[in-house]
Amino acid sequence: MKILRNLIPHHFLTFCVGKLASSKNKTLKNILIKIFIKAYKPDLSLAKLKRPEDYTSYNDFFTRELEDSARPLDASTNAVCSPVDGSIVDYGSIESGQLIQAKRFKYDLSDLMGFPLLADELEGGIFITIYLAPTDYHRIHCPLAGKIIKSNHMGDSLYSVNLNAQTSIPSLYIKNERASLVIQSSKFSYGLVAVGASIVGSIVPFWEKRDLMKRSSFKESWNNGPKEDLKIVNKGQELAYFKMGSTVILLFPKVAKLNINSLYQNKTVKFGERLAEIGSD
């Protein structure tokens, strides 16, 4: 299985699919969109654009925006909102600078995020991992208001991040392309890591308005971070979007006293709903 994975030209495959997905040829993009709709039956009544014909490309359709009323936001000050639509694949304590995924694979926080910032604060804290399937809404939003103090892009591989891959590929999240943010809220700093996967052409930050094509350009944009006037982010504000399905990992420090009693594996979550609660002082 390992040999087969290594033989698959992930980057070349991603490049080819990316070309098709970004094509604005009306016939081609309509065919691709209709195939997806037939296979996955997404609810377009929740999208701002209701008709497949209204989208300029398959990518435009796949990263479609939702109506403002589609995902009510839990505005409570002690609520950490789900940043995405998806399912809970893992959660638990951060111990000895590591988190454990799939009950067996250990991930060093500094390797996962790409820098040692937050490592001490996260000791004894909580991680929550959410998987986005192809059918899910693919925009990532801010789970708790604050200020972006660090952003980063790292990793080169593009393995699948489905359940089988999570339980069979060691260091999967560290091997894969990913982007990380550190956000300083009113009481503590927390981390958010967006992990790419097979056929994920890019992870696009909210501050990037150019129509970038090269992977190196996206890396540069993440590493430069937003301009000073864009660093303050509100709960529910868009942070980035995936061009295909993938994974988001949230990292909270011990001081947050995060209550995750409502979580369980494979639980379906929606952007905006309460994911966990911040403990009182």
| Euclidean distance between CA atoms 226 and 159, whole angstroms | 28
Select which of 57, 202, 221, 246 is catalytic: 246
* Whether 120 is catalytic: no
Contact 180, 148 (CB under 8 A): no
Selecting among 10, 57, 82, 85, the annotated active-site residue is 85
Residue 138 catalytic? no
Apex 220 CA angle, 62 and 16, nearest 5: 40
Is residue 10 annotated as part of the catalytic site, yes or no?
A: no
Q: Which of 10, 138, 141, 153 is catalytic?
A: 141
- What are the E-state strand segments in 94-219? 98-101, 105-108, 126-131, 139-141, 146-154, 178-184, 189-195, 203-205
Written as six digits, the tokens of 193 are: 């890591």
DSSP 149-161: EEEEEE--B----
How far apart CA 226 and CA 46 sit, in angstroms, is: 29
- Cβ neighbours of residue 160 closer than 8 Å, sequence gap 6 or more: 197, 198
| Active-site amino acid positions | 85, 141, 246
